């Protein structure tokens, strides 16, 4: 069941996985990221944040254009309970 936005990504991965969950133009060509790749990268980013000493309750700001990396970062900080 989806209770939060955070839950949506895992729901989509487990119930409707897609090869092109996120698509953006890079260097003049379209590049896609699958649901599985997206969740994997978000987990890796969360791990990196932990290694930097960022923990639940800390605050973070995401300053970015609308792009896949913004969504990855948003999921990573949500997973850790970081306030953004």
Q: Quote the pLDDT of residue 17.
A: 87
pLDDT per position as a tens digit, 34-62: 999 999 999 999 999 999 999 999 999 99
Distance, in Å, from the CA atom of 17 to the CA atom of 20, rounded to the nearest integer, reads 9
Q: Quote the pLDDT of residue 8.
A: 84
Range 5-31 average pLDDT: 89
Distance, in Å, from the CA atom of 73 to the CA atom of 71, rounded to the nearest integer, reads 5
Range 62-69 average pLDDT: 91
Distance, in Å, from the CA atom of 8 to the CA atom of 73, rounded to the nearest integer, reads 15
For the entire predicted model, the pTM comes to 0.82
Please, what is the Cα angle at 26 between 63 and 67, to 5 degrees?
A: 30
CB 10 within 8 A of CB 35: no
Q: Quote the pLDDT of residue 6.
A: 73
Given a cut of 90, whether residue 27 has pLDDT beyond it is: yes
């Amino acid at each position: 069941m989806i209770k939060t936005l955070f839950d949506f990504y895992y729901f989509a991965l487990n119930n409707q996985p897609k090869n092109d969950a996120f698509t953006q133009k890079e260097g003049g060509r379209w590049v896609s990221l699958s649901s599985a790749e997206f969740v994997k990268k978000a987990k890796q980013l969360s791990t990196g944040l932990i290694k930097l000493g960022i923990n639940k309750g800390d605050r973070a700001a995401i300053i970015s254009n609308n792009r896949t990396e913004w969504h990855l970062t948003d999921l990573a900080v949500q997973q850790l309970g970081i306030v953004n």
